[in-house]
Amino acid sequence: MDFFEHGGRNGKNIRYDFSANINPLGLPEGVSEALRESLCQAVRYPEAESLSLREAIAGEWGTDAGGVVCTNGASELIYAAVRALRPAAGLLLSPTFSEYERAFLSVGCPVRYYPLKRENGFALDEDFLDFLEKQETGSLLFLCNPNNPTGSCVEPSLMERILRLTARRGLWLAVDEAFLAFSGEYGRRSMRRYYKEYENLLVLNAFTKLYAMPGLRLGYGVCESREVIRRLLIQLPAWNVSVPAQAAGLAALKEKEYVEKTAVYVAEEREFLVAGLKKAPGLIRRIYPSMANYIFLEALPGLDRLLADRGIAVRSCENYRQLRAGDYRIAVRSRRENEALLQAIYEEEAAWQKI
User: CATH no. for residue 326?
Assistant: 3.90.1150.10
DSSP bridge partners of 172: 140
Tell me the DSSP string of 191-256. GGGTGGG-TTEEEEEESTTTTT-TTT--EEEE-S-HHHHHHHHHTSPTT-S-HHHHHHHHHHTT-H
Domain shared by 313 and 215, yes or no: no
| Residue 11 domain flag | no
**Count of structural domains, the chain:** 2
Domain limits for position 268: 16-26+257-353
Domain shared by 94 and 38, yes or no: yes
Render pLDDT for 65-102 as a digit per residue (tens, 0 to 9). Answer: 999 999 999 999 999 999 999 999 999 999 999 999 99
Cα(131)–Cα(240) distance, rounded to whole angstroms? 37
| Residue 6 domain flag | no
Cα(211)–Cα(252) distance, rounded to whole angstroms? 7
Q: Are 326 and 305 in contact (CB under 8 A)?
A: no
| Residue 9 domain flag | no
Domain shared by 22 and 60, yes or no: no
Domain shared by 302 and 183, yes or no: no
| Residue 5 domain flag | no
Q: Are 3 and 99 in contact (CB under 8 A)?
A: no
The residue out of 207, 230, 254 marking a domain boundary is 254
The residue out of 222, 239, 254 marking a domain boundary is 254
According to the model, what pLDDT value does residue 3 have? 46
The residue out of 212, 229, 254 marking a domain boundary is 254
According to the model, what pLDDT value does residue 12 have? 73
Domain shared by 51 and 176, yes or no: yes
Domain shared by 214 and 82, yes or no: yes
Domain shared by 199 and 92, yes or no: yes
pLDDT < 50 positions in the chain: 3-4, 6
What order of strands is seen across the sheet that includes strand 327-331?
284-287, 294-299, 327-331, 315-316
Domain shared by 123 and 216, yes or no: yes
What is the DSSP secondary structure assignment for residue 284, as one 8-state letter?
E
